[in-house]
């Protein structure tokens, strides 16, 4: 199960209380103060783990509360510190404060960690309050409460290439043909209900990662069809492959479908529409050579962009598409 959002409550442990105590030794009837300090509360730590791919494990519980520090004791013994809690997250997790909506951390580096809720400081024992005028202090500090907050965790996949397009444009089939990924494929809209990743191997032992983003529809940026949840995964990609069914839909021609998706990208985040884009006309196998050539020419004229015609069923031009992607990625990183 792919889980790309979670809401959790985190609280650092409370600090232990300081102790009021006096030395009780033989032949020392009026010993001085020896109350120890309270232990520090445990921290809540978020840490990136390469072994975690989704937020599913995080959602197994809603509240994460670290242990409190123990109270101080006599003989100047400090209380034991509370145990920290470390929450493992997948790379690409965005940490937000639920109350304010403020982004606290974009965790994108392997092994990266952050203390998201600090444990409270332990209170000082009465030994700290002895003065020349008060040799028998009967006061000690209480421990400080740990930090607490509600968090929204959002996962944005790391991929070099993002496959976008209307439902049933052929994105999942393309991913299965050019990589080792085996996403669910069927002839009805919204077959892909969660993002899929595939690795494409190219020459000289190089590779790039492709993400199949579930089919987008008109109104996706408003959340229609869960589109807003899927769109955020595109934000980290370097190149977009915009797939269109060149055979057309019952209601929409290829150019109309193309412009709808382009508008959704712009409405969600204007920067998405500025990404390098390769337009792919799929299902060329459904058209004869003459009709296919006319459709491609008309499509290119309507969108004012070059189009790469392919068939994910027969494999036509898929090697050419991989070459275009490789070149686009090299250009993006240069």
- Please report, in tens digits, the pLDDT of each residue of the chain (334 residues total): 455 789 999 999 999 999 999 988 776 666 789 999 999 999 999 999 988 878 888 988 999 999 999 999 999 999 999 999 999 998 889 999 999 999 999 998 888 999 999 999 999 999 999 998 898 999 999 999 999 999 999 887 778 899 998 888 888 899 989 886 554 444 444 444 567 778 888 877 578 888 887 756 555 444 444 445 667 778 888 999 999 999 875 456 899 989 988 988 888 888 888 899 999 999 999 999 999 999 999 999 999 999 999 999 999 999 999 999 999 998 876 5
Based on the domain organization, do 144 and 127 belong to the same domain?
Answer: yes
Range(s) of the domain holding residue 173? 161-333
**7 and 85, same domain (yes or no):** yes
What is the rounded CA–CA span in Å between residue 37 and residue 99? 34
CA end-to-end distance (rounded Å), the chain: 36
Q: Could you tell me the CATH number of the domain that includes residue 328?
A: 3.40.50.300
The verdict on 146 and 167 lying in the same domain is no
Question: What's 12's domain CATH number?
Answer: 2.70.210.12
| 84 and 214 fall within a common domain | no
Q: Where a domain ends, among 115, 138, 155?
A: 155
The number of domains in the chain is 2
Instruction: Give the C-alpha distances (Å, rounded to integers) separating 192 from 105, 114, 161, 295.
Output: 29, 34, 17, 27
Residues 169 and 143 in one domain: no
Residues 6+ apart with CB under 8 A from 190: 167, 214, 215, 225
Answer yes or no: do 72 and 114 share one domain: yes
Point out the domain boundary residue: 140, 155, 170.
Answer: 155
Are residues 212 and 170 in contact, defined by beta-carbon separation less than 8 angstroms? no
Helix (H, G, I), strand (E, B) or coil at 333: helix
174 with 238, same domain: the answer is yes
Q: Which of the listed residues 155, 174, 199 is the one where a domain comes to its end?
A: 155
Q: Output phi, psi for 198, to 5 deg.
A: -140, 150
Residues 224, 195, single domain; the answer is: yes
Enumerate residues 6+ apart whose C-beta is below 8 A from 2. Answer: 54, 56, 194, 195
Q: Is there a single domain that holds both residue 131 and residue 221?
A: no
- Same domain, yes or no: 173 and 147: no
The phi-psi region of residue 114 (left if phi > 0; otherwise alpha if psi is between -120 and 50; otherwise beta) is beta
Determine the length of the chain. 334
């Amino acid at each position: 199960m792919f889980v790309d959002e979670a809401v959790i409550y985190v609280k650092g442990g409370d600090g232990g209380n300081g102790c009021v105590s006096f030395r009780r030794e033989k032949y020392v009837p009026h010993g001085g103060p020896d109350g120890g300090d309270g232990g520090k509360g445990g921290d809540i730590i978020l840490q990136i783990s390469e072994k975690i791919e989704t937020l599913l494990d995080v959602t197994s519980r809603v509240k994460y509360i670290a242990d409190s520090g123990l109270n101080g004791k006599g003989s100047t013994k400090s209380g034991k510190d509370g145990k920290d809690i470390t929450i493992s997250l997948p790379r690409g997790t965005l940490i937000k404060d639920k109350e304010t909506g403020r982004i606290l951390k974009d965790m994108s580096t392997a092994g990266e960690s952050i203390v998201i809720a600090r444990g409270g400081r332990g209170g000082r024992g009465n030994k700290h309050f002895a003065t020349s005028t008060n040799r028998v202090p009967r006061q000690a500090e209480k421990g400080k409460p740990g930090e607490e907050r509600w968090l929204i965790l959002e996962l944005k996949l790391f991929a070099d290439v993002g496959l976008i397009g209307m439902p049933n444009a052929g994105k999942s089939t393309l991913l299965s043909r050019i990589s080792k990924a085996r996403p669910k494929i069927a002839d009805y809209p919204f077959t892909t209900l969660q993002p899929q990743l595939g690795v494409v191997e190219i020459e000289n032992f190089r590779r790039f990662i492709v993400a199949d983003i579930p089919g987008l529809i008109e109104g996706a940026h408003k959340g229609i069809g869960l589109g807003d949840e899927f769109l955020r995964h595109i934000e980290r990609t370097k190149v977009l492959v915009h797939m269109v069914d060149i055979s057309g839909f019952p209601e929409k021609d290829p150019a109309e479908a193309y412009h709808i998706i382009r508008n959704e990208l712009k409405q969600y985040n204007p920067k998405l529409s500025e990404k390098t884009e390769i337009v792919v006309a799929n299902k060329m196998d459904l058209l004869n050579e003459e009709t296919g050539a006319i459709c491609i020419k008309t499509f290119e004229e309507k969108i004012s962009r070059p189009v790469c015609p392919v068939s994910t069923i027969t494999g036509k031009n898929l090697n050419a598409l991989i070459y275009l992607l490789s070149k686009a990625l090299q250009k993006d990183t240069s």
